[in-house]
Amino acid sequence: MVLCSCASTSHYKAVDKELLKGDYRNAYASLESSKKAYRDKDKVLYYLDLGMLAHYAGDYSESSRLLQDGERAIEDAYSTSITQTAGTFLVNDMTLEYSGEDYEDVYLNAFNALNYYHQGSLEDALVEIRRLNNKLQFLAGKYGLMITNLQKTALEGSQAIPFDPSTVQVNFTNSALARYLGMLFYRGAGLWDDARIDRDQVKIAFANQPEVYPFALPSTLDDELNYPRDMVRFNAVAFTGLSPVKSASDMRIPISNSAWVKISLPEINARPSLVSSAEVVFDSGERLALEPIEDISAVARETFKQKAGMIYLRSSIRAITKGVTAAVLSDSDNSGASILLGLLTQVYAEVSEQADLRISRYFPGRALVGGITLTPGTYSYTVNFYDHSGSIIQSSRFLDVEIRNQGLNLTEVLCLK
């Protein structure tokens, strides 16, 4: 049972190699051919991973289909996980269907909104942004009752398992990236009042959530709705790096002379990126520095808090049950059979207690944005990505792009190194 609960990650190596080269189509093809590496319990991961790679490859229709499948799978898995918890108290959380991290559920709508924009449907893009914002409002209390009930059960089992409810307070209820995209989509649709509301919500997101937004507001934000009507606005959004992964953090607490409790918890760890800054350089001489709007890795850590608290309490209950069973068997009498059975039970408790390290791998780590006012016309430009020493590590070239005075002129560019 323990061995079967592990999920393989070896299939990611070939995908990562293509991804870091910028060959998104081959990365997509490589992952699609590795579908068998995903267990039935991991279908959310498959949809999210493949859906993001399809987006990067420019197959926006397929990406939209996959991300929508992923969203439905998240809803189904979350509903199932509320009732199907028996296996987690016997083995570990890997026995559950993966229901996605909350940041994954949020950002799939942001990228689906971009999918719809690239397909020419601002109306559908705005539907996705509204779905995202509704999810954020729901997030604050999503796990509250489950945490309360698990805390009571954990304390009944052992007073040695500390838990501080304040550590699971989620300080993320408003996404600046979502509001920024909403502002652009509303402006592109000619809905200026709605665009102003979302522009102001970007400012509110920064003001109310300094833990997630420790950097300054984009300097071009106020210009997005304040420019001459005979001119045109050009915008760029750049995604850099890759979303975080998980690692296991183990602790052991003795509960008797012969037994201990092992608790293995997942932790969110950001993946380093080579990209320090980005800039759009027009052949006509204009330059546009892109500025941070969202640290997706920071959002992932923040939104994981409540779920981490729930995992901690569930793991504590499970570990106490296994540890007490081992202690009772070992201390029941001094016979060799009891000692051996107690030892085997303790070994099972140790080996079976594994952190659930499942997480999607192909969301970006950070989003940068910028805007500039131009004369309508045809432009060629280059988006340069710089490392911390100021050296160019990637350039993306755009030739003869028509910048029109109607609709939205938005360029999306990637450097996932």
Residue 369 DSSP SS3: strand
Cβ neighbours, 10 Å, residue 254: 12
The answer to whether position 141 is within a domain reads yes
Query: CA 39, 40, 43, 44: dihedral to nearest 10 degrees?
Result: -100
The answer to whether position 254 is within a domain reads yes
Residue 399 DSSP SS3: strand
> Which residues, listed in sequence order, are joined to residue 405 by a DSSP beta bridge?
none
**For residue 390, pLDDT beyond 80:** yes
The answer to whether position 65 is within a domain reads no
- What does the pLDDT average to over 293-319? 85
Distance, in Å, from the CA atom of 72 to the CA atom of 65, rounded to the nearest integer, reads 11
The answer to whether position 370 is within a domain reads yes
Average pLDDT of the chain to the nearest whole number: 86
The pLDDT, as a whole number, for residue 114 is 98
- DSSP assigned state of 335: -
pLDDT band at 177 (very low <50, low <70, confident <90, very high): very high
The answer to whether position 395 is within a domain reads yes
pLDDT band at 305 (very low <50, low <70, confident <90, very high): confident
CA distances from 89 to 80, 215, 255, 316, 401 (A): 15, 42, 18, 10, 58
The answer to whether position 347 is within a domain reads yes
What domain count does the chain have?
Answer: 1
- For the CA atoms of the chain, what is the radius of gyration? 24
Q: Are 351 and 39 in contact (CB under 8 A)?
A: no
The answer to whether position 9 is within a domain reads no
Q: Are 105 and 17 in contact (CB under 8 A)?
A: no
Tokens of 334: 């001094």
The DSSP bridge pattern shows strands 409-415 and 232-240 to be parallel
Distance, in Å, from the CA atom of 228 to the CA atom of 99, rounded to the nearest integer, reads 47
Angle at 304 between CA 298 and CA 308, to 5 degrees: 140
- What does the pLDDT average to over 173-190? 96
The pLDDT, as a whole number, for residue 307 is 82
Q: Are 264 and 355 in contact (CB under 8 A)?
A: yes
The answer to whether position 32 is within a domain reads no
Strand extents, DSSP E, 92-203 = none
The pLDDT, as a whole number, for residue 87 is 45
Strand extents, DSSP E, 92-153 = none
CB hemisphere CA count around 171 (13 angstroms): 13
What's this model's pTM, rounded to 2 decimal places? 0.86
pLDDT in tens, 250-287: 877 776 665 667 788 899 999 999 999 999 999 999 99
Can you give the residue range of the structural domain that contains 150?
Answer: 93-415
